[in-house]
């Protein structure tokens, strides 16, 4: 590999985004944060951020979710990787998205680089930063909601055993 290829690889960064969903009042809600820093400062986005050099992806997702929402959760399932070259104006950043299902709409507290956090009906979202609309569309296509029974049915291509195992073990707590 030539030095220019190594240089391009060294400039790539990894991030995580978290699609947090909950059911309430017959609707599906998604947890969003308002960004407090560039890029997209002031815009709504999925919780998430950069992965540390020696950090596992899921550990990074749990850390970022806690840092930005004050909500601690253990059960997450990876739903996709997003690597369009221009998905982030700050540079080449590849993001791995995770899904977490919260049994109730725990009240989030914005922390770290989030200046606000709140639940939004999935059917009526504000404009989102980065490619987060696309990430949510992919998550929705992989999950079939049965809102009347508050049941989740996963599309056949999703590894149901692993995802359901993790979701069944999900515990949620609010830190202060």
* Domain enclosing residue 162, as ranges: 3-174
Q: How many domains does the chain have?
A: 1
pLDDT given at position 7: 59
CATH number at residue 51: 3.90.79.10
pLDDT given at position 146: 39
Digit-coded pLDDT (tens) for 2-40: 556 665 556 889 999 999 998 888 888 999 999 999 999
Digit-coded pLDDT (tens) for 110-136: 999 899 999 999 989 999 999 999 999
3-state SS class at 10: helix
- Concatenating the DSSP letter of every residue in 122-158 gives TTSPPPBSTTHHHHHHHHHHHEEEEGGGTEEEE-TTS
Report which secondary-structure segment, H or E, holds 7: helix 3-11
């Amino acid at each position: 590999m030539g030095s220019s290829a190594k240089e391009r690889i060294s400039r790539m960064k990894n991030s995580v985004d978290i699609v947090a969903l909950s059911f309430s009042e017959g609707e599906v809600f998604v947890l969003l944060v308002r960004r407090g820093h560039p890029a997209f400062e002031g815009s709504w986005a999925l919780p998430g951020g950069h992965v540390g050099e020696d950090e596992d992806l899921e550990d990074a997702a749990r850390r970022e979710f806690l840092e930005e929402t004050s909500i601690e959760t253990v059960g997450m399932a990876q739903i996709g990787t997003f690597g369009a070259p221009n998905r982030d104006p700050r540079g080449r950043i590849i993001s791995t998205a995770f899904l977490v299902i919260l049994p109730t709409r725990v009240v989030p507290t914005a922390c770290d680089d989030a200046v606000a956090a709140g639940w939004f009906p999935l059917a009526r979202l504000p404009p989102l930063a980065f490619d987060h609309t696309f990430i949510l569309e992919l998550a929705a296509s992989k999950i079939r909601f049965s809102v009347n029974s508050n049941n989740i049915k996963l599309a056949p291509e999703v590894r149901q055993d692993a995802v359901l195992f993790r979701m069944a073990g999900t515990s949620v707590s609010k830190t202060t």
